[in-house]
Amino acid sequence: MNPVVFCDFDGTITREETFVELLRTFTPEMSEKLIPRMYDLTLSLKDGVRRLLESVESRHYPEMLARMKSAPLREGFLEFLDDLKTRTIPLIVVTGGVEDFVRATLGASIRDVHSVYGLKVNTEGPFLRVFSEWESGTELVSKPRILEVAGKKMCANPPVLIGDSVTDLEAALACPVVFARDRLARYLTDRKKAYVPFEDFTEIRKAFTEMFPVDV
Ligand SMILES: [Mg+2]
């Protein structure tokens, strides 16, 4: 049976942590204050991300989208997306950042993405306002909740997770197949959860085809 692929965005589909860079550019003072506290866990991701985004003036939003348009993609991503399309395997983007940023970066290729789950932003007031349908106790976007809801719609297709960071961890522990790099790989090693290490999507394509051979 064909799997369904859940893929993180920042630092996974993109080569860099684009979201953090954007915050540092458009809300530098708050970023300097809050980002270190999020890293040392004295401020939750949920409060931190909301306070940071809501300190950005709405008039900067078009410029943020313009920057995201030129964010470099990790090697082999578009080819992987193309493979999945040929095989009618859905790819779902799950981001702890803003859905519009994913759409801006992927441009026309977004038509080959099944769906995007993340934060929604309202720009009508002087400052951005953030909305999430996926809040949990500690996170603004709970990836395990998204997997549960989106996964149910996909019936029994086994979920595959691709990610790089702490926000992917809980979801990764619930998935039978995980591709991991950077911090996520280290966390999974510590927890003795099996995963396939990767640095680019060329490696993922190769391993993916071996794991899920094309039906003949
Ligand atoms: Mg990431």
Pairing of strands 177-180, 196-197: parallel
> Phi and psi (nearest 5°) for 61?
-60, -45
pLDDT in tens, 82-91: 999 999 999 9
CA of 17 to the centre of ligand 1 (A): 7
For residues 77 and 81, give the distance between their C-alpha atoms in angstroms, rounded to a whole number.
Answer: 6
pTM: 0.94
Starting at the earlier edge strand, list the strands of the sheet with 196-197.
129-131, 115-122, 91-98, 4-7, 159-163, 177-180, 196-197
Tokens representing 15 are 């080569």
CA of 8 to the centre of ligand 1 (A): 6
Q: What is the pLDDT of residue 2?
A: 83
Distance separating alpha carbons of residues 1 and 100, to the nearest angstrom = 32
Contact call for residues 143 and 171 (beta carbons, < 8 A): yes
What is the overall mean pLDDT for the chain? 93
Q: How far is the CA of 210 from the centre of ligand 1 (A)?
A: 25
What pLDDT does residue 108 have?
97
Residue 215 CA, ligand 1 centroid: distance in Å: 31
Average pLDDT over residues 1-19: 93
Q: What is d(CA 141, CA 119) in angstroms, rounded to the nearest whole number?
A: 7
Gap from CA of 182 to ligand 1 centroid (Å): 9
User: Domain residue spans in the chain?
Assistant: 4-211
Distance (Å) from CA 10 to ligand 1 centroid: 4
CATH topology of domain 4-211: Rossmann fold (3.40.50)
Distance 154 CA to ligand 1 centre (A): 24
pLDDT given at position 157: 78
For residue 153, pLDDT beyond 80: no
Task: Give me ligand 1 centre to Cα 130, in Å.
Answer: 19
CB proximity list for 71: less than 8 A, separation 6 or greater: 14, 15, 16, 18, 105
Distance 9 CA to ligand 1 centre (A): 6
Q: Give the residue, 66 or 40, on which the prediction is more confident.
A: 66
pLDDT for position 207: 94
213 pLDDT exceeds 90?
A: no
Ligand 1 mean position to 156 CA, how many Å? 26
Please say if the pLDDT value at position 106 is more than 70.
yes
Confidence of residue 103 (pLDDT cuts 50, 70, 90): very high
pLDDT tens digits, 65-75: 999 999 999 99
CA of 11 to the centre of ligand 1 (A): 5
In this prediction, residues 16-38 reach a mean pLDDT of 94
pLDDT (0 to 100) of residue 152: 73
Q: What is the pLDDT of residue 155?
A: 62
| CA–centroid distance, residue 186 to ligand 1 (Å) | 14
Asked if the model's pLDDT at residue 216 lies above 80, the reply is: no
- Short-list 146, 79, 159, CA closest to 112: 79
In this prediction, residue 214 has a pLDDT band, given cuts at 50, 70 and 90, of: confident
Distances (CA, A) of 100 to 60, 64, 70, 116, 143: 14, 10, 14, 9, 17
Q: Which of 28-42, 98-112, 194-208 has the lowest mean pLDDT?
A: 28-42
* CA–centroid distance, residue 135 to ligand 1 (Å): 17
Output the CA 139–ligand 1 centroid distance in Å.
14
**pLDDT at residue 124 tops 90:** yes
